[in-house]
Amino acid sequence: MNLTFRRKRISGILTIVPARELSFLQDMKNFNFPEARSLKLREVMGYDKHRVVEPGVCVSDLAVAGLEHLFENNLLHPDEFDALILVTQSPDYFMPPTSNVIQGRLNLKPDMLCLDINQGCAGFVIGLMQAFSLLEQESVQKVVLINADVLSRKTSPKDRNSFPLVGDGASITIVERDTEDSIIHANLKMDGTRNQVLMIPAGGFRLPSSPETAILKDVGDNNLRAKDHLRMDGSAVFNFVQMEIPSLIDGLLKHGGVTIDEPDYFFFHQPNRFLLQKLADKIKVPYAKMPSNVVERFGNSSGVTIPVTITLNLADRLVHEQFKVCLAGYGVGLTWCAMLMNLGKVKFNCMIEYK
Amino acid sequence: MKSFVMKPVIEILKEIRPEFDFATSEDFIADGMLDSFDVVNLVATLDKNFNISIAGTDIVPENFKNLEAISALLRKSGAKL
């Protein structure tokens, strides 16, 4: 599905990463796997450090800390936004929506739309699409888009398929109208027949959590995982990305009327370095234009990785300069989407730690 | 020509999983000699040693099931054999 948005822009990005850092060298003591093979895996995939929350920390805690930082530093006023979109797969509760929890904790005005979206690694692009659509309403002047997840709390430390790469974090993106006649192109696809490739089998209404669903079982390759834990079919995800994303990007560039050489950066979701470099090779983009340095520092925080990539690699440059960027997210659903836009001259683009 | 290609590939496989004899198996995947992470390691090493980039869409079990399949993949990926 091709989408076009006019006169919309990102005016600020803040990312919030937990101060707690785990290392792959520590993690691998939990794996039932020869040390030499773990070290080789680390080298190829780019696993090293990852940031995870302390036990008990929830998505709303990260989001509230980030918004308070913006308010205290006069980067955002509590009354100047009319919609708060939260994209997460790890809400504080089934009900109420965590966006309402955030609104309540900060005493934000009631004349506001609070909206939770259940999306994962494609969640930044999906959230932007929603924000742009809301800005078509005259009464909506500014949208706060929050992407946040604490999925380490649902990942087995004895599952080397998932634990070494998982990261927690949040991002707050300010979206508003552009005074210039800018055009943003996007492309979106979903395939629900592959919904079980990435999932947490237990804990919902289909299979409620119970003592049985908490039992760790050997799920192959000496990985131990319970049904309460995140399950990722790594090979299926890898093949899905390599099959679908090159044509997605090709279609997007054609839709936007630009060539592969024109974007300054390709900020893609960050599952691991190996996958990203294979993707860069396939679509013929230099590695320097497609950073893959997030998973080794922070882990894969699903929908938060694109903002983390932007704040890590551009920092204050984004305040002073403007770039043509291609964003791409892919994951749970399965969902894959990409966006072509001008990004820059923002009010802020920075990262803080949650302690 | 065939053995010239096989020898470095066998050496790489031995380095990844020294406990197995790759010269005697016809299906490394079915025989449990290579798992998905071993395949990733193998691709990274083949890329480096043969100065190629095996396409992500070619990283499927069938292309790593035995020495002939790996050899065919190397040729397809532009390795100078």
Is A350 a residue whose pLDDT tops 90? yes
A239 touches chain B (CB under 8 A): yes
C-beta atoms of B56 and A279 within 8 A? yes
Average model confidence (pLDDT) across chain A: 95
> Strand, coil or helix: what is A17?
strand
**The pLDDT value given to residue B5:** 64
**The pLDDT value given to residue A28:** 85
How many structural domains compose chain B? 1
**The pLDDT value given to residue A199:** 96
**The pLDDT value given to residue A47:** 87
**The pLDDT value given to residue A37:** 80
CA A61/CA A148 separation, integer angstroms: 10
A245 touches chain B (CB under 8 A): no
Segments in chain B below pLDDT 50 = 1
Q: What confidence category does residue A41 fall into, taking pLDDT thresholds of 50, 70 and 90?
A: confident
Single-letter amino acid, residue A249: I
Domain for residue B27, yes or no?
yes
**The pLDDT value given to residue B4:** 57
Give A279's contacts in chain B (Cβ within 8 Å). Answer: 56
**The pLDDT value given to residue A85:** 98
In a mutational test of the B interface, the residue from A24, A44, A243, A275 whose CB has the highest number of chain B CBs within 10 Å is: A44
Q: Residue B36 belongs to what domain range?
A: 2-76
B35 touches chain A (CB under 8 A): yes
pLDDT digits (tens, 9 = 90+) for A244-269: 999 999 999 999 999 999 999 999 99
In a mutational test of the B interface, the residue from A31, A41, A218, A278 whose CB has the highest number of chain B CBs within 10 Å is: A278
Domain for residue B81, yes or no?
no
Domain for residue B36, yes or no?
yes
Give B60's contacts in chain A (Cβ within 8 Å). Answer: 239
pLDDT digits (tens, 9 = 90+) for A62-99: 999 999 999 999 999 999 999 999 999 999 999 999 99
C-beta atoms of B59 and A41 within 8 A? no
Is A147 a residue whose pLDDT tops 60? yes
Mean per-residue pLDDT for A168-180?
Answer: 97
Ordered by where they begin, the domains of chain A are 1-355 (3.40.47.10)
C-beta atoms of A238 and B59 within 8 A? yes
C-beta atoms of A243 and B57 within 8 A? yes
Domain for residue B35, yes or no?
yes
In chain A, the percentage of residues whose pLDDT exceeds 70 is 100
Mean per-residue pLDDT for A201-228?
Answer: 93
Facing residue for A40 by CB, picked from B36, B41, B53: B41
For A282, nearest residue in chain B (alpha carbons)? B55
> Strand, coil or helix: what is A9?
strand
Residue A313 makes CB contacts below 8 A (sequence gap 6+) with A265, A267, A291, A293
C-beta atoms of A44 and B60 within 8 A? no
A41 touches chain B (CB under 8 A): yes
C-beta atoms of A278 and B59 within 8 A? yes
**The pLDDT value given to residue A235:** 85
**The pLDDT value given to residue B1:** 43
A243 touches chain B (CB under 8 A): yes
CATH number, domain at B19? 1.10.1200.10
In chain A, the percentage of residues whose pLDDT exceeds 90 is 88
Mean per-residue pLDDT for A331-348?
Answer: 97
Is A215 a residue whose pLDDT tops 90? yes
Output the six-digit token pair for A88: 């997460």
Domain for residue B53, yes or no?
yes
Min distance A55 CA to chain B CA atoms (Å): 30
Min distance A51 CA to chain B CA atoms (Å): 23
Domain for residue B13, yes or no?
yes
